[in-house]
Structure 1
Amino acid sequence: MGKNQYTSNVESGSTRTEIKHWVELFFSVKVIAMNSHRLPRKGRRMGPIMGHTMYYRRMIITLQPGYSIPPLRKKRT
């Protein structure tokens, strides 16, 4: 948050322009840059069959100065 950057995991089928549009619409902010990378899949064993988890992409969203995204999670009491 020091560089006005936020990270989020999204489905791998989502495009950068879709994510940028939804972030700007939902949070009323201006996005100036987006970077992404695919996270490695993890193996899951279900009996004798070896499976894998779904692919995810981690998006690093940079906002214009003066904009911020409020925290979404509330602390449990």
Structure 2
Amino acid sequence: MKQKLKVSTCAMAAVGALMLAAPAAHASEWHRVDTSSTWAGCQTYLITYYGNWPADRVKCEIDGTWTPWQTYGGYIYY
């Protein structure tokens, strides 16, 4: 469990560092850009395509209510 927490914390720090390097976007509303079956898949998509965006302009959220077949939506704010 400690190893997973350590890996997760390091990954989140790396994502934050990548996203802080970008200029602020002009925000108007949240737009879904991806749907993934896992939180890790959602994060990977956002890092790959929006890794230079500020951290407050990208997010992964659970779509709908929790079920065993839950999906995660990747959103950007512009």
Q: TM-score range by the shorter chain?
A: 0.3 to 0.5
Between structure 1 and structure 2, the one with the greater Rg is: 1
Q: Which has the higher strand share?
A: 1
Name the one with the larger helix percent: 2
